[in-house]
Structure 1
Amino acid sequence: MFEPRLAIASLSGESDAEWATQVAPHIGCAFLGGIALDSATRDAAREMVDRDRTEFLPDDPIDFIDEQLAALDDADMRAGFNVRSATLEPIAKAAETCANHDALLEINAHCRQEEMCAVGAGQSLLCDGDRLCEQVTTAAGAGADVSVKIRTEVEGVDLPSLARRLADTGADALHVDAMDSEPVVREVAEAAPDAFLVANNGVRDRATAHEYLEYGADAVSVGRPSDNPTVLRRVREAVDEWFAATGGAESRSEVSPDA
């Protein structure tokens, strides 16, 4: 999926090609975005901007994705683009664009902002597995490798069961924000063993990176301190150390849980 096994996670309105390029020597993947694709999510994003949220709102979201990914075509990392949509057609277009750049299309089932959830995007998709699986099927059908950004601690959501459905539907990667429920990462890993699992939340150093890798993650991602080379250097060293100690395993199924 990507090497080294360290990603930086999208921060709405901040994570662009320049952001990724500045820390390229430390990472294996950069998730750009998130970006609202259709009229409903773009209207929601404008409402969020009105209350001082930072959002990408280009005239044409697909052109913006293409331009941003093109700027990273020669970078020594894999790119991904985190997208939010209430409808399927723009997901297919975004996925085609990502596929043209060998980039991941990441479906955002993570954003918990009220405006985005109200139009049927972001975290609301976790509570509507059928719609979320439709988005995965659409993106995969357009030729992209598909990641789904999900989060723990959503009432009424059995995340491991949903993870299994997403993997069966065509998700190549699951990007899990563990919130304050880090052990759920192990449950997701066991439920969807064929999906590449990226664990997120509070990754800052050796201890936090190794905790997620012990739970079964294939990689970790850094969010808020993603522009801090000192943090990224620490985490990169920890990730490299882990996989060197486990024989450079290609998947978590080859990693001893007691390593």
Structure 2
Amino acid sequence: MFDPRLALASLSGRSDAAWAAAGAPYAGAAFLGGVALDDPAREAARELVARDREEFLPPDPVAFVDDQLAALADVPLRAGFNVRSATREPIRRVARVCRDRDALLEINAHCRQDELCAVGCGETLLRDADRLCEYVATAAEAGATVGVKVRAEVPAVDLPALAADLEAAGASFVHVDAMDSEAVVADVADACDLFVIANNGVRDAATVREYLDYGADAVSVGRPSTDPVVLERVRAAVDDRVAVADR
């Protein structure tokens, strides 16, 4: 999927091509975005901006994805894009862009802001597995390498079972925000053959070791992704842990 097994996780409204390029010396992948693709998601994003959150709101979001990925064509990492949509057709269009750019497409089933959930985006998709699997299947049929960003500790959501369903729908990876339930990574890894990226609190060798020992294939860094000190420390820990596993 990518190497080294460290990804930069999207930070809403801040994770653009320049951000990814700055982290490229440390990471094997970077998920740009998130970006709202359709009218309901974009209106929700505008409401978030109105209460002082950062969001990408380009005139044409699919063209924006293409332009940002083009800017990373010569940067040595696997680019990806985190996207939000309340409807399926924009997923198909952005999947074609990601296919043509050899980029990962990450469907956002993670954000929990009320505005996004109200229109059926983000965390709402965790409770609507059929629709989420339709999004995955749509992207996979368009030729994209597709995965999903998910969140632990959502009531009545069985993440391991959902991961198995996503794999059956055509997903290649799952990006797990473990919250305070780190062991859920092991449950997800045991339930499927997806490439598992573990997220939340990745700062040092101890957190890297914990997630990889639970069966994650890679880890991701979110808020400190602009801090080269943290990235250098995490990258060294990933390299050391993978070298031990390969002996």
The TM-score, its normalising length taken from structure 2, stands at: 0.99
Gaps of 5+ in 2: none
**Amino acid corresponding to residue 28 of structure 1 in structure 2:** G
Deviations 1:206-252 (A, max 9, x none): 0001100000000000000000111011110111111111117xxxx
Match of 2:243 in 1: 244
Offset at 1:147?
A: 1.4
Aligned counterpart, 2:190: 190
- Once residues 18 and 147 of structure 2 are traced to their aligned partners in structure 1, the CA distance between those partners, rounded to angstroms, is 22
In 1, the alpha carbon distance for the partners of 2:18 and 2:175 equals 22
Per-residue CA deviations over 1:124-144 (Å, capped at 9, x if unaligned) read 000000000000001111110
Q: Which residue of 2 aligns with 1:156?
A: 156
Partner of 1:251: none
Is structure 2 residue 198 aligned with structure 1 residue 227? no
1:138-172 CA distances to partner (integer Å, 9 max, x unpaired)?
11111100010001000110111111100111110
Gaps of 5+ in 1: 249-259
Distance in 1 between the 2:141 and 2:11 partners? 27
Q: Structure 1: how far apart are the matches of 2:105 and 2:23?
A: 21
Cα distance in 1 for residues equivalent to 2:27 and 2:172: 19
Counterparts of 2:165 and 2:243, CA distance in 1: 32
The CA deviation string for residues 169-206 of structure 1, in whole angstroms up to 9 with x for no partner, is: 111000000000000000000001x1000000000000
Q: Which residue does the alignment assign to 1:255?
A: none
Partners of 1:175 and 1:101 in 2: how far apart? 20
Distance 2:214 2:182 in 1: 8
TM-superposition CA deviations, 1:53-110 (whole Å, max 9, x none): 1000000001100000000011100000000001011000101001111000000000
- Does 1:49 pair with 2:49? yes
* Cα distance between partner residues in 2 of 1:87 and 1:205: 38
- How many residues were matched structurally? 247
RMSD of aligned C-alpha atoms?
Answer: 0.7
Question: Does residue 106 of structure 2 align to residue 106 of structure 1?
Answer: yes
User: Which amino acid in 2 is paired with 1:90?
Assistant: P
* Partner Cα separation in structure 2 for residue 24 and residue 181 of structure 1: 29
Matches of 2:61 and 2:97 in 1, distance apart? 11
| 2:25 match: secondary structure | helix
Question: In structure 1, what residue type is equivalent to 2:141?
Answer: G
Question: Is 1:30–2:30 an aligned residue pair?
Answer: yes
- Supply the AA of the counterpart residue of 1:229: P
Hey, what's the Cα distance between the residues in 1 that align with 2:77 and 2:224?
18
In structure 1, C-alpha distance between the alignment counterparts of 2:194 and 2:163, rounded to whole Å? 9
- Partner SS for 1:81: strand
User: What is the rounded CA distance, in whole Å, between the counterparts of 1:125 and 1:16 in structure 2?
Assistant: 24
Aligned-partner Cα distance in 1 for 2:178–2:64: 30
Cα distance in structure 1, aligned partners of 2:9 and 2:43: 24
Query: Percent identity between the aligned chains?
Result: 66
- For 1:84, the equivalent position in structure 2 comes to 84
The residue type equivalent to 1:31 in the other structure is: F
Could you tell me how far 1:23 is from its partner in structure 2?
A: 1.6
Checking the alignment, whether the CA contact within 8 Å between 2:8 and 2:23 is kept in structure 1 is: no
Q: Which amino acid aligns with 1:66?
A: D
- Structure 2 distance, partners of 1:95, 1:9, is 19
* SS of the residue 2:146 aligns to: strand
Residue 7 of structure 2 aligns with an amino acid whose one-letter code is A
Instruction: Give the Cα separation in 2 of the matches to 1:202 and 1:130.
Output: 30
2 CA distance for matches of 1:238 and 1:168?
32
The 3-state SS of whatever aligns with 1:115 is: helix
Determine the C-alpha separation between the residues in 1 that align with 2:44 and 2:84.
10
Output aligned runs, 1:159-170, within 5 Å. 159-170=159-170
